[in-house]
């Protein structure tokens, strides 16, 4: 929980607040955009939650915050418990957002797929009892897919507890020395029925996307939705090779999907044709920028 003595002056008066330990990872702004906004190098509560739904979302943001920078003056235990029980947060079909983002991955999002042939975890949340028990109730974990070296977090702990296989690309494999499955090369590779790994080097040399059922694309730090510009975007800094990144974005035009589920940045669902148009527009914008 946050420290009221470190409450940022940019917070609106009221119950919820952000303190100065905030790392500006964007988790709270994704979950509760009506309340949290970016101010300088921090997030802050610019609008106190109005009504039950906004309060619930603010409580979810509090719990998901990787560094415990969000607090409340009054401590709504019932509301926080309800928010806790909402994680993993159902998105569509049997796909869930885990919540409880980890400081080890700078607050990256992670996702869970409930699958009849074995459940999948995409990148790793914090290793906490609530999620372990939630995964156990859904049948455990069979596979942990790691999009790249930055978002490994507590994957090893989950792998040991559930006996799950970890998948990572060879170019980023030093981050998971005991990974059971190392993907090599630059071509898409089927991993199992419904699952396709797509190497997308750029942010890191071993970045991969995971395409599930030709509908859900888990992108790590390769691609995300910008709610301000209402467009797909990709990293402009902390990039291994910019030209390679653009080529990797263009590669995704070979596939159809409706969801972009990002490690950092907002997730979005669009009709596949509109998603393809957004992707093509992003490629054209990046090709126009000198490398």
More confident call, 288 vs 6: 6
Backbone angles phi, psi at 89, to 5 degrees: -90, 120
The average confidence (pLDDT) of the chain is 97
Alpha-carbon span 278 to 239, nearest angstrom: 21
Confidence of residue 1 (pLDDT cuts 50, 70, 90): confident
**Residues in CB range of 97: below 8 A, 6 or more apart:** 87, 88, 89, 91, 109, 110, 111, 112, 261, 267
Alpha-carbon span 6 to 262, nearest angstrom: 30
Tokens of 65: 């915050």
Alpha-carbon span 278 to 267, nearest angstrom: 14
Domain 4-84 classification at class level: alpha beta
List every span in the chain annotated with CATH 3.30.70.20: 4-84
Alpha-carbon span 208 to 201, nearest angstrom: 7
- Average pLDDT for residues 13-36, to the nearest whole number? 98
What pLDDT, on a 0 to 100 scale, did the predictor assign at position 290?
Answer: 76
Give the CATH number of domain 87-287; options: 3.40.50.970, 2.60.40.10, 1.20.1250.20, 3.60.15.10: 3.60.15.10
CB-CB contact of 231 with 265 (8 Å):
no
Beta strands in 252-291 (DSSP E): 259-262, 268-269
Q: C-alpha 172: how far from its chain's center?
A: 18
What pLDDT, on a 0 to 100 scale, did the predictor assign at position 75?
Answer: 82
CA distances from 146 to 122, 238, 251 (A): 6, 18, 19
- Average pLDDT for residues 33-59, to the nearest whole number? 97
What pLDDT, on a 0 to 100 scale, did the predictor assign at position 219?
Answer: 98
What pLDDT, on a 0 to 100 scale, did the predictor assign at position 288?
Answer: 87
pLDDT(291) > 70 = no
- Average pLDDT for residues 60-78, to the nearest whole number? 95
What pLDDT, on a 0 to 100 scale, did the predictor assign at position 76?
Answer: 85
**Residues in CB range of 176: below 8 A, 6 or more apart:** 146, 152, 155, 156, 166, 168
Could you read off the pLDDT of 184-218 as tens digits, one per residue? Answer: 999 999 999 999 999 999 999 999 999 999 999 99
Alpha-carbon span 246 to 203, nearest angstrom: 10
Alpha-carbon span 11 to 228, nearest angstrom: 21
Q: C-alpha 129: how far from its chain's center?
A: 20
List every span in the chain annotated with CATH 3.60.15.10: 87-287
Tokens of 104: 């080890």
Q: What is the pTM of this model?
A: 0.97
């Amino acid at each position: 929980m946050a420290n009221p003595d470190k409450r940022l002056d940019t917070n609106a008066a009221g119950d919820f607040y952000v303190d100065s330990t905030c790392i500006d990872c964007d988790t709270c702004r994704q979950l509760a955009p009506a309340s949290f906004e970016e101010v300088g190098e921090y997030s802050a509560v610019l609008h106190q939650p109005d009504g039950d739904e906004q309060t619930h979302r603010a409580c979810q943001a509090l719990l998901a915050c990787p560094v415990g920078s969000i607090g409340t003056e009054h401590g709504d235990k019932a509301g926080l418990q309800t928010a806790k029980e909402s994680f993993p947060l159902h998105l569509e079909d049997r796909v869930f957002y885990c919540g409880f983002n980890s400081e080890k991955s700078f607050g990256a999002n992670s996702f869970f797929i409930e699958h009849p042939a074995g459940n999948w975890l995409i990148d790793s949340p914090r290793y906490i009892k609530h999620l372990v028990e939630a995964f156990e109730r859904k049948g455990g974990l069979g596979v942990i897919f790691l999009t790249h070296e930055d978002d490994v977090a507590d994957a090893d702990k989950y792998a040991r507890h559930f006996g799950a296989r970890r998948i990572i690309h060879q170019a980023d494999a030093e981050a998971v020395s005991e990974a059971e499955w190392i993907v090599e090369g630059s071509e898409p590779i089927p991993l199992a029925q419904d699952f396709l790994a797509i190497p997308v080097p750029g942010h890191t040399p071993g970045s991969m996307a995971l395409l599930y059922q030709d509908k859900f694309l888990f992108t790590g730090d390769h691609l995300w939705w910008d709610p301000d510009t209402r467009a797909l975007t990709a990293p402009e800094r902390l990039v291994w090779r910019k030209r390679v990144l653009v080529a990797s974005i263009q590669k995704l035009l070979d596939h159809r999907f409706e969801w972009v589920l990002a490690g950092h940045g907002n997730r979005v669902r669009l009709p596949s044709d509109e998603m393809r148009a957004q992707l093509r527009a992003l490629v054209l914008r990046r090709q126009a920028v000198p490398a």
